[in-house]
Amino acid sequence: MTDLVPVLLSGGSGTRLWPLSRETHPKQFQPLVGEQSLLQATWQRLAGLPGMAAPIVVANEEHRFMVAEQLRQVGAGPSAIVLEPVGRNTAPAIAVAALQAMEGGRDPLLLVLPSDHVIGDAAGFRAAVQEARRGAAEQGSLVTFGIVPTGPETGYGYIKAVAAEAAPTGEGGVRAVERFVEKPDLATAQAYVASGDYFWNSGMFLFRASAYLAELSKFAPAMAAAAEAALAGGKRDVDFLRLDRAAFEACPADSIDYAVMEKTEAAAVLPINVGWNDVGSWSALWEIADQDPDGNAHHGDVLALGCRNTLAWGGRRLVSLLGLQDVIVVDTDDALLVASRDQVQQVKDIVARLKAEGRPQAAVHRKVYRPWGSYDGIDSGERFQVKRIVVKPGAALSLQMHHHRAEHWIVVSGSARVTCEDKVFLLAENQSTYIPLGSKHRLENPGKVPLELIEVQSGSYLGEDDIVRFEDVYGR
């Protein structure tokens, strides 16, 4: 049996789940359903598939440490974490993964999966992969998994399969694709569902690496050539494979649907019913969340009285709802969303407005994750800023210097090793130190428990770009 290489696509930003999902910490890294993130759940639902190799992950360069850490937590050792210097949509990303998978003369099957979907029936999905694998994919078809529609959804694209009686025999439920169609209006969607020949486009695929590359070269030769050049010019960096920036920036941007699937004669679809949801909006999350008898789905410290069909996602503080119906409430440390449930697809317009105004809430949370730990902006004002910093055991920040600010550090718990110019010393709980403006310094955690400290910055400019790094184990 041909080896199976999962390709996990992790480059999305999930703006329709703002304010929880943001560019620096998008939805695939969030535990939206259960305790694991969507990325971790995507990998774990594949457990038990025969002949499965280590995954290839294609990710945004800015997310590289989150990808590596989250996969480490669930015991997944990727064969490669491919870093895109810029986003070019799914077709080039899959091309690079296919080329990488074929190193050493191999030609495995690629199971291409977005890393931000939910599948309720993992065993059913694994069985579907095996069905698509036998015959169709191994013989050269580009198989996509079509979701059996549960209603006339207007938010998804559809795949029309060749009528069942005309479909090739000997391939189980795999059917030839007649055409792909864009998101329909309600009347059209109702007709699609009634016909029984239309399925939601899930964005999940199974095919031989060589079969995909051959079709891409046929229909988008410039894209195929640019992907090959980007990989050939790439560089290994510890756990990461960095694509050549110039070559990848020159690559045309397009989805696999437009670049290949809508044009190839090798397209096939396997209809599946496995509890799939792309978690593409807050209303989609409400649909799959546990609900009380009145249809309310709540997360965190939420108190609701006289409410029906609401979703409330709480953060650190109490969220109270009174007499509301069909409403979404999402509370984070620095932003609050209140929306009608039938308007949540327009959340992306709020994000666009925030970006146009240059507001940080569009991209970053108050709490920011770094490879060494995290920091949380507690307070700020004229010429000062206060952060709560957590450093993982054994981790260290870069050796750095600031031109415009000085820093006071107060250890709350754990122990800190501090470098300040030519001095190196330890700080215990309740001890503090001062880092003068312009001083070369480093913060390390030499202990076995997390280091927590309060940092008070003061100066004329407090932006994160006021950092001059001299040494950094993370290659930033």
Residues of the chain with pLDDT under 50: 169-171
Same domain, 267 and 295: no
Looking at residue 453, its pLDDT comes to 97
Question: Do residues 290 and 297 touch, judged by C-beta distance below 8 A?
Answer: yes
HSE-up of residue 180 (Cα within 13 Å, Cβ side): 23
Last residue within a domain, chosen from 226, 261, 277:
277
Question: Do residues 179 and 304 touch, judged by C-beta distance below 8 A?
Answer: no
> Is the pTM of the predicted complex or chain greater than 0.85?
yes
Residues near 283 by beta carbon (within 8 Å), at least 6 away in sequence: 311, 328, 341, 342, 344, 345
Phi first, then psi: what are they for 463, rounded to 5°?
-70, 155
Looking at residue 1, its pLDDT comes to 61
Residue 354 in any domain: the answer is no
Residue 355 in any domain: the answer is no
Last residue within a domain, chosen from 226, 244, 277:
277
Residue 358 in any domain: the answer is no
Looking at residue 169, its pLDDT comes to 38
Question: Do residues 231 and 100 touch, judged by C-beta distance below 8 A?
Answer: yes
Last residue within a domain, chosen from 234, 257, 277:
277
- Containing 219, the helix (H) or strand (E) segment is helix 209-219
Same domain, 56 and 130: yes
- Token couple for 429: 């709980």
- Range of 176's domain? 4-277
Residues near 222 by beta carbon (within 8 Å), at least 6 away in sequence: 251, 252
- Token couple for 109: 């099957």
3-state secondary structure of 366: coil
Same domain, 133 and 246: yes
- Number of domains observed in the structure of the chain: 3
